[in-house]
Amino acid sequence: MSGQHRDATDIAASLQGDGAAFAHLIRRYQGQVAGDLSRFTHDRLRLEELTQDVFVEAYNSLRTYRGEAPFGHWLRKITVRVGYRFLKEAGKNRARDEAVPEPASTEADPEPGPAEAAARVQGLLAKLAPRDRLVLTLMYMQGLSVAEIADRTGWSRIMVKVQAFRARQRLKRLLEKSRRIET
Amino acid sequence: MNLQDFEKLAALAQQASPGRVDVEYAVLRRLAAQRAQPATAVEPARLWSSIFAWLAGAAAVAASFGAALALQAWFSLSNPLAALLNSFVVMIP
């Protein structure tokens, strides 16, 4: 049985109230969802919480899934929505939610590992507005194209381009400012 | 750090893996708790609050119209301020 067919069977069963079928979907996609969300936060507890949020939201709107695109693709849109909500909340309570490293510390280790690099990038992006942070996270941390970002966020391609341009300008200014402080 | 350094760091960050995440049990527990919650206990409260919000809005609109009409009646038409006010009130459909 193909993956898509298995998903369709499990979705139909989940809609009938079969919890075990939805558990199959969770098992199949939790790695993908957690992987995408790890670009938004490096806090392990928050990551697990957000991953749960995605599946709860997916279950609640399962009836709206029309099966036109693969289930994993649909789930990715929910993941971005949940991630963006997290960024907005984190923006409001930055000090509480995210340990933001100081710019000086970003120069500390010239050859960091991937996890350290992710923490540093998230720390720098945390200083930006949620909208800027979202587009840069999807662009740089997930390596998505303009078309893919537009698809996942529901924005138009033009809007993604404009938003990405502005966010990059603001990031550039932020990096220059922190470099000036260091010197 | 400049933008190029940042882009290199971000490219490296793409390789980071969150490791194994297992949320199956937690999600199913949350969904069970959600189902057990009496949905009807919340809905009437929401309904009444929206009804009151609409009523308050309608009352505010009616009060502002009433105040405008009362002011119009208070001033005589010979009063220049009343004429000005009258011109505004007339504009209101």
Nearest CB to B21: which of A34, A107, A115?
Answer: A34
Q: Which of A25, A121, A144 to mutate to test the interface with B (most CBs of B within 10 A)?
A: A121
CATH class of the domain whose range is A1-98: mainly alpha
> Looking at residue B44, what is its pLDDT?
73
**pLDDT band at residue A104 using 50, 70 and 90 as cut-offs:** very low
A37-85: pLDDT as tens digits = 999 998 899 999 999 999 999 999 999 998 888 999 999 999 999 999 9
**pLDDT band at residue A27 using 50, 70 and 90 as cut-offs:** very high
Residue A82 DSSP one-character state: H
The whole-chain average pLDDT of chain A stands at 87
Q: pTM for the whole thing?
A: 0.73
Residue B89 pLDDT > 80: no
CA atoms within 13 A on the CB side of A88: 7
Count the helix, strand and coil residues of chain A and give each as a percent rounded to the nearest 5. Answer: 75, 0, 25
B11 contact residues in A (CB cutoff 8 A): 140, 143
Q: What is the per-residue DSSP string for A14-69?
A: HHTT-HHHHHHHHHHHHHHHHHHHTTT---HHHHHHHHHHHHHHHHHTGGG--SSS
> Looking at residue A96, what is its pLDDT?
52
Q: What is the mean pLDDT of residues B4-14?
A: 88
> Looking at residue A106, what is its pLDDT?
47
Q: Sign (positive/negative) of CA torsion B55, B56, B57, B59?
A: positive
Which of A29, A28, A51, A26 shows the shortest CA–CA distance to A38?
Answer: A51
Residue A126 pLDDT > 70: yes
Q: What is the mean pLDDT of residues A10-22?
A: 91
B23-81: pLDDT as tens digits = 999 999 999 998 887 665 556 777 888 899 999 999 999 999 999 888 777 765 556 66
List, in sequence order, every beta strand (DSSP E) within A93-138.
none
Q: What is the per-residue DSSP string for B39-93?
A: GGGTHHHHHHHHHHHHHHHHHHHHHHHHHHHHHHHHS-TTSHHHHHHHHHHHH--
ipTM of the complex: 0.80
Rounded alpha-carbon distances, angstroms, from residue B57 to B60, B68, B93: 5, 17, 18
The domain defined by A100-183 folds into: Arc Repressor Mutant, subunit A (1.10.10)
CA atoms within 13 A on the CB side of B89: 18
Q: Residues spanned by CATH 1.10.1740.10 within chain A?
A: 1-98
Residue B85 pLDDT > 70: no
Portion of chain A with pLDDT greater than 90, in percent: 64
B14 contact residues in A (CB cutoff 8 A): 114, 140-143
Portion of chain A with pLDDT greater than 70, in percent: 90
Distance from the Cα of A62 to chain B's closest Cα (Å) equals 13
Q: Residues spanned by CATH 1.10.10.10 within chain A?
A: 100-183
- Contact between B10 and A141 using a beta-carbon 8 Å cutoff: yes
